[in-house]
Amino acid sequence: MRCDQTLAWQALQVHADKFKGFDLRSAFADDPDRAADLSQSAPHVFADLSKNHTDRATEALLLELAQQTGLTQHRDAMFRGEPINNTEGRAVMHWLLRQPSSSASDPAALQTVQADPPTVRADSPTVRADSPTVRAELVEALAQVHTTLDAMLAYAEQIRADAQITDVVNIGIGGSDLGPQMAVLALQDLVAPGKRFHFVSNVDGHELAAVLKDLRAKNTLFLIASKTFTTLETMTNAHSALAWFKAQGGIDVARHFAALTTNVAAAAGFGITTTFGFWDWVGGRYSMWSAIGLPVAIAIGAAGFRQLLAGAHAMDQHFQSAPLAQNLPVRLGLLDVWYRNFLGYTSRSIAPYHSALRRVPAYLQQLEMESNGKRVDRNGNALPYGTAPVLWGEPGTNGQHAYFQMLHQGTDVVPLEFIAVKKPTHRLKDHHELLLANAIAQAQALMLGQQDPGGHKHFTGNRPSTFLLLDELTPASLGVLIALQEHRVFVSGAVWGINSFDQWGVELGKVLARDIRARIVSGDARGLDASTAALLARVRA
Ligand code: F6P
């Protein structure tokens, strides 16, 4: 049932009305158990949700909403490999990429541990959830996953041992860039000595040119990362990289270029013979666990990459089996729905208090906004309620000296999500205590505020935040953190009834860019609107 037609939705609307006078300070004063009740541990991560505009009654109603919108059935359909990406007719199985190989010999392990009866959904009527054929297909898919993973990790180790390769250049964009780039940065302390990593994504030639100027062909490995192997930016950069390589006297393309793609034929057509494949059931923004993760595997080694997968798998298991009231991605995803649809908070800010996590906000932008930035339901019907919030952020403490002013004293309430790490990997005195103190103090200041009625120093306080705390930043804890965010996006998307796994909204601009490019060359402005025609004339002048 569509979420806004459920009884829980109506009850939440009434509850939200009553909630207008909610004050975090009084909530804590009235309820000594609030911090404990609205906090929880999940594998590798502690989450304090208690400084949010929520209470037990809100959570209970949100759980009813989850139940009335079929969240667990949708989740289980994903984990059974049903084609829940209905507009592309595809299964959604990035979780299979982190499933241990041992489950291949135990087909039952591939089934969700939930006992909910399978439901036949309007958007996935073709696959019987309990069909033995489906199980056999999953077992076969898992075997392929591990064959590819083993080959890719062996290759990663070979490159790590190859002293002649000093520079690895990943050419890809969107999901073929943000995930590996974020993870290589996050795990920089584990990166093999003697190897430098570069990420080129933009069609803007300044980016590739700036990287190439410091490279030598014989020391460089180019990874051409593209699920489709058709993306304009990536293909343009790949062609330029190949031309540069040949112009530098490079000969051995097989040794210096590898492709990471589902389109093995297109990679071969390009002239690349070293290819690691993946499958159409891996969405671009969910692909860092696949061959797209090769730069990460080269950076941190095969064992590290397996730990990353293991961390994500631990979160998959938590998502599948923890009771909903203690299921962290479920709680976060439902909180997102509460904020977006009932309290009217239209954005969420991310503050990683760890500089190695500095690309996490960019990564999460694609994850949330490309997945849930949809205005229609799975059947294409327009929705009367809001979906994806705007995500944005920078590492702390930098953000504190830039836009936190608005978070504390602006006219809009923006929930803030802190991501902090208990143990540092450096030994510099004082820094880490200061960093953590700032993170905790900011959450406190947002909530407590400060009295200066009528004055510029008045902080209303009562500003919501979530605090995620990792013990340390390791491949496993990073895997947990990212899988947590993936599943949280799944939860809100499922409640909203949208397909979180397509991205038709990026297509129109691609088509128009081809047309405008031809017009930049020809100067033909016929049929264009006046503004576009004037811009065309200016760039040609
Ligand atoms: O244009 C959007 C998009 O399709 C993303 O979803 C994807 O991650 C990115 O482009 C790159 O696509 P590809 O990996 O096929 O080059």
Both structure tokens of 218? 């014989």
Count Cβ atoms within 10 A of the Cβ of residue 74 and give its class: 0-12 exposed, 13-18 middle, 19 or more buried: buried
Give residue 454's pLDDT: 80
**Strand runs labelled E in 212-346:** 220-225, 257-261, 275-277
Angle at 42 between CA 39 and CA 45, to 5 degrees: 85
How many angstroms separate the CA atoms of 191 and 289, rounded? 18
**Which residue, among 181, 168, 180, 231, has the nearest Cα to 203 in the 3D structure?**
231
Cα(328) to centroid(ligand 1), Å: 28
The count of other CB atoms within 10 Å of the CB of residue 268 is 13
Give residue 437's pLDDT: 98
- C-beta of 174 in contact with ligand 1 (< 6 A): yes
Residue with tokens 């040119």: 209
**Which residue, among 319, 317, 341, 368, has the nearest Cα to 61 in the 3D structure?**
341
- C-beta of 81 in contact with ligand 1 (< 6 A): no
**Which residue, among 230, 226, 168, has the nearest Cα to 201 in the 3D structure?**
226
Which atom of ligand 1 is the closest one to the Cα of 503? 6
**Residue owning the nearest CA to atom 9 of ligand 1:** 174
- C-beta of 170 in contact with ligand 1 (< 6 A): no
Q: Is 47 helix (H, G, I), strand (E, B) or coil?
A: strand
Cα(419) to centroid(ligand 1), Å: 27
Q: Is 510 a catalytic residue?
A: yes
Residue 66, phi-psi category: left (phi > 0), alpha (psi -120 to 50), beta (remainder): alpha
Which atom of ligand 1 is the closest one to the Cα of 225? 14
Q: Is 195 a catalytic residue?
A: no
Please check whether residue 469 is in contact with residue 422, taking contact to mean a CB–CB distance below 8 angstroms.
Answer: yes
**Residue owning the nearest CA to atom 3 of ligand 1:** 174
pTM, entire model: 0.94
Cα(172) to centroid(ligand 1), Å: 8
Q: What residues of the chain score a pLDDT lower than 50?
A: 111-129
Give residue 120's pLDDT: 28
Cα(285) to centroid(ligand 1), Å: 8
Phi first, then psi: what are they for 246, rounded to 5°? -70, -40
How many angstroms separate the CA atoms of 369 and 381, rounded? 19
Pairing relationship of beta strands 39-42 and 45-48 according to DSSP bridges: antiparallel
Residue with tokens 């969405």: 283
**Strand runs labelled E in 325-421:** 347-353, 390-393, 416-421
Give residue 126's pLDDT: 34
- C-beta of 86 in contact with ligand 1 (< 6 A): no
How many angstroms separate the CA atoms of 42 and 76, rounded? 20
Ligand 1 mutation target, pool 85, 200, 224, 228, most atoms within 8 A of CB = 228
How many angstroms separate the CA atoms of 333 and 505, rounded? 22
Q: Which of 239, 401, 422, 458 is catalytic?
A: 401
**Which residue, among 387, 375, 405, has the nearest Cα to 495 in the 3D structure?**
387
How many angstroms separate the CA atoms of 64 and 11, rounded? 10
- C-beta of 263 in contact with ligand 1 (< 6 A): no
How many angstroms separate the CA atoms of 521 and 513, rounded? 12
